[in-house]
């Protein structure tokens, strides 16, 4: 456009540039025309803005160029911003210059129209679907949620310690892992950073890791992905109550951050914000025993000793208007590294946080088993290969202390906060059973 072109302004800041000449760099979102006047709608990644091109007011070449614009063609457009109550957002761009960077041919149009599409088609075009308003809003909320998590831990003196993704063996020994060839040796994609976190906590006191985790379970539900992101804190000298308080603090601060920073996104998504505004501490804390009692009253088939199914989690969450923390599950349904309750050894000192509105478990955590002999016994009961865990046992040989932590699945939190039907929209490129592309 040359040196004389007006400054580039992001659409989200456009209200500060009323009556000024600006440049917008972006794409054509949609277009409406009515003979001698046309309304292109531009998008630049920060918002949508309506333009106006009046045939009698611009050179014929400009009108023709604007008329031929196709959906998602890339462009630089200049013009004067003006307040206009009839335009979406309250202002519009009177177009005076248009540089088309790439014109999408009309006979091979952009596949995703502003009309409705099926999920298979949209997932096949996920790389393009990300441009739509809903998906853009979700990406923004996800970003703020991740920032809020990091800020929460950073502000409390936690040290980020990255844990490996390629691991020599199962962490918990339960779920199915993705196997990879590691120069002729079998290796597995990490399903949790927790065991390594425990080592890091003994170094820095308070630590967290945040990265992708992998589960090769053939799960096919709206709550499951094969590859998902988890943030996992681990704290030396923390007991179960400390773990619960930390979880409550994290979840409430994430919600508060989204309410503070993502109002436009929540509006785009049509989220009922009042349901989020209630999610402030204290969260209700109930024991597994109490949860079983509630579920039986509600007609669940569940028996003491079993883990909750998705329906049970939903039934339970219906009783509360904010996340609920369920603690002290039977050890038999939980991982080997959880400390038994000294008062009732058949229970584990663990906690699950269940999100409201049927979004299920978003956090699972526990106080860890710090005693060497007990840990060895639990490992034998779980039939875990001793050799692979010798380094982990070292943590109990050399200065073992009470400690605990939890893992929070980012995608389930995003799905809940955004009010989505399915976690597949919470991550840019979901990895699901029977879908590895794009």
Partner RNA sequence: UCCUCGGUAGCUCAAUGGUAGAGCAUUCGGCUGUUAACCGAAGGGUUGCAGGUUCGAGUCCUGCCCGAGGAGCCA
Please give the residues from 220 up to 279 whose contact with RNA meets the rule CB under 7 A. 220-226, 228, 230
Least Å distance, CB 111 to RNA, is 5
- Give the β-pairing of 91-102 and 74-83: antiparallel
By CB under 7 A, name the one of 26, 356, 364, 404 that touches RNA. 364
- Cβ burial of 216 (10 Å; 0-12, 13-18, 19+) is middle
Interface with RNA, residue 386, by CB under 7 A: no
Interacting span for RNA (CB under 7 A) from 170-178, 180-188, 266-274, 379-387: 170-178
Q: Is 306 within 8 Å of 324 (Cβ atoms)? A: no
* Binding residues for RNA, total number by CB under 7 A: 75
* Nearest CB to RNA, comparing residues 23 and 314: 314
From 49, 95, 123, 395, residue interacting with RNA (rule: CB under 7 A): 123
Among 4, 60, 106, 181, binds RNA (CB under 7 A): 106
For residues 30 to 69, the per-residue mask of contacts with RNA, x marking binding by CB under 7 A and - elsewhere, is x-xxxxxx-x----------x-x-xxx-------------
Nearest distance in Å: CB 245, RNA: 18
Token duo for residue 434: 């029977």
Q: How far apart are CA 223 and CA 204, in angstroms?
A: 34
State both tokens at 127: 């790389």
175 binds RNA per the rule CB under 7 A: yes
Compute the least distance from the CB of residue 430 to RNA, in Å. Answer: 9
Rounded least distance, CB 148 to RNA, Å: 17
Query: Which is closer to RNA, CB of 166 or CB of 333?
Result: 333
Provide the minimum distance between the beta carbon of 249 and RNA in the complex, in angstroms, as a whole number.
Answer: 16
Does 434 contact RNA by CB under 7 A?
Answer: yes
Label residue 237 left, alpha or beta by phi (over 0 means left) and psi (-120 to 50 means alpha). Answer: left
Question: 6 or 51, CB closer to RNA?
Answer: 51
Site for RNA (CB under 7 A): which residue of 76, 261, 275, 422?
422
Site for RNA in 344-363 (CB under 7 A): 360-363
The whole-angstrom distance between residue 314's C-alpha and the CA centroid of its chain comes to 20
- Residues numbered 278 to 337 that lie near RNA (CB under 7 A) are 307-311, 313, 333
The Cα angle at residue 356 between residues 355 and 360, in degrees rounded to 5: 45
Among 128, 126, 130, 150, smallest CA distance to 138 is for 130
For residues 134 and 126, the answer to whether their CB atoms sit within 8 Å is no
**Cα distance between residue 181 and residue 188, in whole Å:** 8
Tokens 């949508």: give the residue: 48
Q: What is the largest CA-CA distance in the chain?
A: 87
User: Does 115 engage in binding with RNA (CB under 7 A)?
Assistant: yes
Provide Rg for the chain, Cα atoms.
Answer: 26
CB 435 within 8 A of CB 227: no
Stretch that binds RNA, among 126-134, 139-147, 212-220, 386-394 (CB under 7 A): 212-220
DSSP state of 432: B
In angstroms, the CA 157 to CA 155 distance is 6
Binding mask 13-32 for RNA (x = CB under 7 A): -----------------x-x
């Amino acid at each position: 456009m040359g040196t004389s072109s007006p400054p580039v302004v992001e659409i989200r800041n456009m209200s500060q540039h009323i009556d000024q000449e600006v440049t917008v760099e972006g794409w054509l979102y949609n277009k409406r025309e009515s003979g001698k006047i046309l309304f292109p709608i531009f998008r630049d990644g920060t918002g949508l803005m309506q333009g106006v091109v009046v045939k009698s007011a611009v050179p014929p070449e400009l009108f023709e160029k604007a008329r031929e614009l196709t959906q998602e063609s890339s462009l630089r457009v200049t013009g004067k911003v003006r307040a206009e109550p009839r335009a979406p957002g309250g202002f519009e761009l009177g177009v005076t210059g248009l540089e088309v960077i790439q014109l999408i041919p009309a006979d091979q149009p952009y596949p995703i129209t502003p009309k409705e599409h099926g999920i298979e088609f949209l997932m096949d075009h996920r790389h393009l679907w990300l441009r739509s308003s809903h998906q853009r809003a979700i990406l923004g909320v996800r970003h703020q949620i991740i920032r809020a998590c990091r800020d929460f831990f950073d502000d409390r003196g936690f040290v980020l310690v990255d844990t490996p993704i390629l691991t020599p063996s199962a962490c918990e020994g339960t779920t199915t892992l993705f196997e990879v060839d590691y120069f002729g040796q079998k290796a597995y994609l990490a399903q949790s950073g927790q065991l390594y976190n425990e080592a890091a906590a003994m170094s820095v006191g308070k630590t967290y890791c945040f990265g992708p985790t992998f589960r090769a379970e053939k799960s096919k539900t709206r709550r499951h992905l094969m590859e998902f992101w988890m943030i996992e804190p681990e704290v030396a000298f923390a007991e179960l109550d400390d773990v619960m308080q930390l979880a409550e603090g994290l979840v409430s601060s994430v919600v508060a951050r989204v309410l503070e920073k993502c109002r436009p996104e929540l509006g785009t998504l049509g989220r009922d914000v009042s349901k989020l505004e209630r999610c402030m501490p204290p969260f209700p804390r109930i024991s597994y025993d109490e949860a079983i009692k509630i579920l039986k009253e509600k007609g669940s088939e569940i028996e003491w000793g079993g883990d909750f199914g998705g329906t049970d989690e939903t039934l339970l969450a219906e009783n509360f208007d904010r996340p609920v923390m369920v603690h002290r599950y039977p050890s038999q349904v939980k991982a080997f590294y959880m400390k038994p309750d000294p008062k009732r050894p058949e229970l584990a000192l663990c906690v699950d946080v269940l999100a409201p509105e049927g979004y299920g478990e978003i956090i699972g955590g526990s106080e860890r088993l710090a005693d060497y002999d007990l840990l060895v016994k639990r490992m034998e009961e779980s039939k875990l290969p001793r050799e692979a865990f010798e380094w982990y046992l070292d943590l109990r040989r050399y200065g073992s202390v009470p400690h605990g932590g939890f893992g929070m699945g980012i995608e389930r939190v995003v799905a809940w906060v955004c009010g989505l039907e399915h976690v597949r929209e919470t991550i840019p490129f979901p990895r699901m059973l029977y879908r590895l592309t794009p």
